[in-house]
């Protein structure tokens, strides 16, 4: 379903992409056509591809990008010019709106996809790799392997041990605040849960909204769930829960919701009717004290002169045996489609995208993310970017995000409304959990 | 295809005129093309969805990757799918509200506008204007008007602050009404124009006659105009049912149809469109939606066809 992608920068403008939502009958039709085997029905993604005619021009590599809006698009265009200078290959790009790209990914990959396309790490990548819709990029990794940490390598492999993904940029989730507001009030960053709640209480006393929180879009709350679960039950439990979906109705997960209930009184009033942009504005306007969000989002609100006023601290420790060892850091990158028209060209381009030089070029105009490859000139980072690198490098485990760590047909259709339901009636957690558990079991059992 | 003059009826009956090959071709094309299109693009997909509703399929791979799981999807929907009950309730609420508010109010406005009052044209245009807007656009307007912190209403009434904020879009007990207000605003104009067209076709002589006979306005309406509107009423009835079952855009724009704005059409979309689709599950929901529409459409068709036979 809809766009719980943590990285949808363009959602600043409500949701214009919803116009492209096909209606019931069209969905039926699509399902029906697929059933009759007419799978090659060109989706409009491929239909608008500028490259559909060319069959394997050795000097051209086609690329499907989900960055159709001006900001990242401009940065990518600079990058692709650079690609041509360095490799002699022209990158022929099909720009698609972010959410539309995500929604149509299955049709896209089964149709006539570009050679290379943008996507995300984690289960979200592994799922499509397991369906045989991707080419492995082991050859590319033979060249770029040295640029990456082991954690990055692990996030780029499919379940079969082959590489399917070239990481490009990423960003952490943390608790963000306005440094100048904190300085004027004399707040200090908490490291434990008790300090965290005490700080929230103090902020409330000072007439602030302690925690800007918004969940009209549904996905922002997922970040809080991920952190609570990793802090209370540890990274391994979290990933197991996400990947296998078998332990939803357990005391461990119940504990997550119990802990969460303590935070709700400190949230923005009317948070279920607010978008993350409205919450981020509360932070920017110094109406709110702190906010759990990703740098990729908040970094687009604190821009220009305000960029360096953005401070953050790691989500506080709850269970001392896990401390703050895990960081939620969604990785964006590129993959290669099942049968690219220009395979060697695609490999060359991917190898180039996996270098610090390429990522540096792109980051030049995008201060809301950080590079995945080693060797980037960190002196060019803004203060929050530099601090993000510290945070991520100090982490023992990197999680992606709920909608990237679990099955796509579970995250949005089941978890998104379930969390909203919990936030609406926090006392009904037990019933909600047993229901999530039952749905998870049917979903994991259904598609073998 | 009737013969121009009536006399030779007998002749035609005894020796039916052969259709020329050209006529036949025309007839075949005129009847055949729409039939093929309807069957191919409406009935076949609908039937295949019903078939797919007994399966589990992520939408990836060929037919051989479809698992047939019988009634499992339906069992899941009715037992453990928490979005289903509210979606049905909201669809029915939508239907009830559309019957109770825009339909009578549209009629009321149409009757008033039909009285040749001054600026009638202007009023017509103003009231019809929302119909021109797409429901998706009305969804954006809903956000502008009802957004809790930035919306028009809360800012005008002073409820936009932290204290005493009215959460029009986030409170699941309120948001459906906010959306319905906007949907009714559009629907009223639509119904009004239908009735206005109907009223124009009522012979003014009949109204004059009624007036001469001493009938007051209400009596004229009750005994002369209303019976003449019979056929329009059927159209309005059908439109109301269709519009409430296909409601989608406005809630999808507001919050993707979650948290108090669930509708059957949204659930179908949620499950079928997306990164990994639950084609079977979504088809089962679509089948349920189909059955619900049948409950309204079949009786209507039966009445219409009966009338045709009598006529």
- Per-residue pLDDT of A211-260, as tens digits, reads 999 999 899 999 999 999 999 999 999 999 999 999 999 999 999 999 99
Whether A294 contacts chain B with CB within 8 A: no
Q: Which residues of B47-81 are buried (b: 16+ CB within 10 A; e: fewer)?
A: ebbbbbbbbbbbbbeeeeebeebeebbbebbeebb
Nearest to A14 among B143, B268, B283 (CB): B143
**E strand or H helix at A355:** none
CB contacts under 8 A, A 131-190 vs B, are: 131-133
pLDDT at A340: 93
3-state secondary structure A241-253: HHHHCCCCCCHHH
Alpha-helical (H) ranges within A364-415 are 383-393, 402-405, 408-410
Question: CA distances (Å), B13 to each of B6, B20, B22, B27, B189, in order?
Answer: 12, 17, 22, 21, 50
Helix, strand and coil percent figures for chain A, each rounded to 5: 55, 15, 35
Residue A333 has pLDDT above 90, yes or no: yes
Residues 8-67 of B with CB under 8 A from A: 41-42, 44-46, 48-49, 51-52, 56-63, 66-67
Residue B274 backbone zone (phi > 0: left; psi -120 to 50: alpha; other: beta): left
Tokens of B235: 């159209």
DSSP, collapsed to helix, strand or coil, labels residue A382 as coil
ipTM value, please give it.
0.81
Does B66 sit within 8 Å of A18, measured CB to CB? no
Q: What is the rounded average pLDDT of the residues A171-196?
A: 96
* Listed range (A4-8, A109-113, A403-407) with the worst mean pLDDT: A4-8
CB A420 within 8 A of CB A426: no
Task: Determine, for residues B253 and A37 on separate chains, whether the beta-carbon distance falls below 8 Å.
Answer: no
pLDDT for A448 beyond 50: no
Q: Which of B70, B170, B284, B291 to mutate to test the interface with A (most CBs of A within 10 A)?
A: B170
- Cβ neighbours of A424 (radius 10 Å): 17
Q: What is the mean pLDDT of residues A73-79?
A: 89
Chain segment B143-176, per-residue pLDDT in tens: 999 988 888 999 998 888 777 888 899 899 999 9
Tokens 């489609």: give the residue.
A337
- Residue A205 touches chain B, beta carbons under 8 Å: no
pLDDT at A10 over 70: no
* E strand map for A79-207: 90-95, 116-120, 134-135, 166-170, 173-178
Q: Are B286 and A1 an interchain contact pair (Cβ–Cβ within 8 Å)?
A: no
Give the per-residue pLDDT at A364. 81
What local confidence, expressed as pLDDT, does residue A255 receive?
96
In this complex, is the C-beta atom of A252 within 8 Å of any C-beta atom belonging to chain B? no
In the numeric block, which tokens belong to residue A324? 């703050």
CB contact under 8 A, A30 and B57: no
- The verdict on B220 touching A (C-beta cutoff 8 Å) is no
| Partner A contacted by B186 (CB < 8 A) | no
Distance (Å, rounded) from C-alpha A73 to C-alpha A77? 6
- Please report the pLDDT score of residue A371 as a whole number: 93
Q: State if pTM tops 0.80.
A: yes
Tell how far CA A319 is from the center of its chain: 26
In angstroms, rounded to a whole number, what is the distance separating the alpha carbons of residues B134 and A23? 14
State the DSSP H helix or E strand holding residue B71, giving kind and residue range, or none if neither. Answer: none
**Coil, strand or helix at B265:** helix
User: What's the CA gap between A18 and B252, in Å, rounded?
Assistant: 7
Using the beta-carbon criterion (under 8 Å), do B259 and A424 form an inter-chain contact? yes
Six-digit token string for B242 = 């269709």
Q: What is the DSSP letter of A317?
A: B
Determine the Cα–Cα distance for residues B79 and B85; give it in Å rounded to an integer. 10
Put simply, the answer to whether B57 touches A2 (Cβ < 8 Å) is no
- Closest CA–CA distance from residue B108 to any residue of chain A (Å): 33
Q: Which residues pair with A333 in a beta bridge?
A: A119, A167
With CA atoms as reference, the chain B residue closest to A288 would be: B162
pLDDT digits (tens, 9 = 90+) for B214-261: 888 888 888 888 888 888 888 898 889 989 998 999 999 998 888 999
Q: Is A251 part of the contact surface with chain B (CB cutoff 8 Å)?
A: no
- State the helix-helix crossing angle for B72-80 and B279-310, rounded to 10 degrees: 90
Residues A261 and A228: their CA atoms lie apart, in Å, by 11
Please give the average per-residue pLDDT across A361-373, as a whole number. Answer: 87
Number of other CB atoms surrounding residue B36 within 10 Å:
10
For residue A401, give both structure tokens.
């995000």
Look-up: residue for tokens 């990055």?
A152
Looking at residue A314, what DSSP letter applies?
Answer: P
Taking CB atoms and an 8 Å limit, are B282 and A273 in contact across chains?
no
Averaged pLDDT score across all residues of chain A: 86
Pairwise CB contact (< 8 Å): B147 & A412 = no
Is A2 close to B256, i.e. CB distance below 8 A? yes
DSSP secondary structure of B112-167: HHTT--TTHHHHHHHHHHHHHS-HHHHHHHHHHHH-TTT-HHHHHHT--SSTT---
- The residue ranges of chain B whose pLDDT is under 70 are 1-17, 308-311
Residue of A nearest to B245 (CA): A24
Residue of B nearest to A105 (CA): B275
> Is residue A26 less than 8 Å (CB to CB) from chain B?
no
d(C-alpha A315, C-alpha A375), whole Å: 28
The phi, psi pair for A39, rounded to 5°, reads: -75, -20
Contact B274 A1 (CB under 8 A): yes
Burial-class residue A286 by CB neighbours within 10 Å (0-12, 13-18, 19+). middle
User: Which chain A residues touch B170 with a CB distance below 8 Å?
Assistant: 216, 270-274
A402-416 confidence digits (pLDDT tens): 999 998 889 988 999
CA distance B202 to B195: 11
Chain A interface, best mutation among B149, B174, B260, B268, by max A CB count within 10 A: B149
Q: List the structure tokens of B139.
A: 């969804």
Please say whether the beta carbons of A27 and B269 come within 8 A.
yes
Residue B46: HSE in the Cβ half-sphere, 13 Å Cα cutoff: 13
C-alpha distances in Å from residue A175, one per residue of A206, A224, A330? 19, 10, 15
What number of other Cβ atoms are within 10 A of residue A339's Cβ?
10
**Cβ within 8 Å, pair B259-A272:** yes
d(CA A247, CA A254): 10
In this structure, what DSSP letter does residue A328 have?
E
Please give the share of chain A, as a percent, with pLDDT higher than 90.
Answer: 67
pLDDT at A131 over 50: yes
At A331, the pLDDT band (50, 70, 90 cuts) reads very high
Tokens 């009786």 belong to which residue? B299
Q: Distance between CA A446 and CA A440 in Å, rounded?
A: 10
Residues of chain A positioned with their CB less than 8 A from the CB of B52: 31-32, 35
Cβ of A249: how many Cβ atoms within 10 Å?
16
Q: Are A221 and A423 in contact (CB under 8 A)?
A: yes
């Amino acid at each position: 379903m809809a766009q719980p992608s943590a990285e949808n920068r363009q959602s600043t403008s409500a949701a214009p992409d919803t116009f492209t939502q096909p209606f019931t009958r069209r969905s039926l039709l699509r399902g029906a056509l697929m059933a009759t085997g007419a799978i090659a029905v060109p989706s409009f993604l491929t239909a608008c591809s500028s490259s559909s005619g060319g069959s394997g021009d050795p000097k051209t590599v086609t690329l499907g990008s989900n960055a159709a809006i001006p900001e990242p698009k401009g940065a990518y265009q600079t990058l692709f010019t650079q690609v041509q200078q360095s490799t002699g290959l022209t990158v022929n790009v099909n720009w698609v709106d972010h959410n539309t790209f995500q929604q149509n990914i299955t049709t896209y990959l089964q149709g006539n996809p570009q050679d290379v396309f943008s996507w995300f790490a984690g289960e979200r990548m592994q799922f499509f790799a397991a369906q045989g819709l991707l080419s492995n990029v082991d050859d590319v990794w033979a060249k770029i392997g040295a640029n990456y940490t082991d954690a990055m390598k692990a996030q780029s492999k499919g379940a079969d041990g082959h590489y399917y993904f070239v990481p490009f940029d990423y960003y952490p989730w943390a608790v963000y605040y306005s440094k100048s507001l904190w300085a004027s009030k004399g707040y200090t960053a908490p490291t434990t849960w008790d300090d965290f709640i005490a700080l929230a209480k103090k902020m409330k006393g000072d007439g602030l909204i302690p925690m800007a929180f918004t969940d009209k879009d549904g996905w922002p709350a997922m970040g809080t769930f991920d952190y609570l679960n990793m802090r209370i039950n540890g990274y391994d439990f979290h990933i197991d829960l996400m990947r296998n979906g078998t332990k939803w109705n357990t005391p461990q997960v119940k504990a997550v919701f119990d802990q969460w209930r303590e935070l709700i009184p400190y949230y923005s009033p009317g948070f279920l009717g607010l978008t993350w942009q409205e919450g981020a504005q509360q932070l920017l306007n110094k109406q709110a004290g702190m906010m759990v969000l990703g740098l990729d989002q908040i970094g687009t609100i604190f821009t220009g002169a305000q960029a360096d006023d953005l401070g953050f601290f790691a989500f506080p420790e709850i269970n001392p045996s896990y401390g703050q060892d895990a960081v939620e850091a969604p990785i964006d990158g590129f993959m290669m489609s099942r049968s690219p028209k220009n395979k060697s060209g695609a490999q060359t381009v991917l190898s180039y995208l996996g270098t610090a030089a390429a990522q540096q070029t792109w980051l030049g105009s995008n201060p809301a993310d950080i590079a995945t490859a080693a060797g980037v000139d960190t002196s060019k980072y803004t203060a929050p970017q530099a601090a993000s690198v510290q945070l991520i490098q100090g982490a023992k485990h990197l999680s992606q995000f709920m909608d990237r760590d679990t099955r796509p047909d579970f995250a949005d259709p089941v978890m998104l409304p379930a969390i909203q339901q919990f936030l609406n009636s926090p006392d009904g957690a037990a019933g909600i959990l047993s229901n999530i558990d039952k749905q998870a079991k049917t979903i994991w059992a259904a598609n073998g | 295809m009737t013969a121009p003059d009536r006399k030779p009826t007998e002749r035609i009956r005894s020796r039916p005129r052969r259709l020329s090959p050209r006529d036949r071709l025309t007839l075949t094309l005129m009847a055949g093309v729409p039939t093929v299109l309807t069957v191919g693009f409406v009935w076949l997909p609908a039937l295949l969805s019903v078939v797919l509703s007994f399966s589990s399929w992520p939408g990836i791979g060929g037919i051989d990757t479809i698992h047939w799981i019988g009634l499992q999807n339906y069992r899941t929907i009715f037992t453990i799918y928490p979005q289903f009950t509210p979606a049905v309730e909201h669809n029915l609420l939508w239907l009830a509200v559309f019957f109770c508010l825009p339909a009578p109010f549209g009629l009321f406005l149409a009757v008033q506008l039909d009285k040749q009052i001054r600026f009638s044209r202007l009023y017509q245009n103003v009231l019809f204007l929302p119909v021109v807007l797409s429901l998706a656009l009305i969804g954006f307007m809903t956000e502008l008007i009802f957004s809790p912190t930035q919306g028009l209403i809360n800012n005008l009434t002073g409820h936009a602050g932290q204290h005493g904020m009215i959460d029009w879009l986030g409170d699941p007990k309120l948001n459906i009404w906010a959306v319905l207000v906007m949907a009714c605003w559009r629907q009223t104009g639509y119904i009004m124009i239908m009735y206005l067209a109907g009223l124009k076709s009522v012979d003014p002589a009949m109204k004059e006659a009624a007036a001469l006979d001493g009938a007051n306005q209400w009596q004229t309406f009750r005994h002369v105009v209303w019976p003449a509107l019979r056929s329009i009423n059927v159209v309005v009835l059908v439109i109301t049912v269709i519009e409430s079952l296909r409601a989608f855009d406005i809630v999808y724009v507001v919050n993707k149809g979650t948290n108090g704005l669930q509708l059957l059409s949204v659930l179908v979309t949620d499950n079928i469109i997306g990164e990994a689709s639950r084609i079977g599950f979504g088809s089962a929901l679509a089948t349920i939606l189909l059955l619900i529409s049948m409950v309204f459409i079949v009786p209507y068709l039966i009445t219409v066809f009966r009338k045709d036979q009598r006529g």
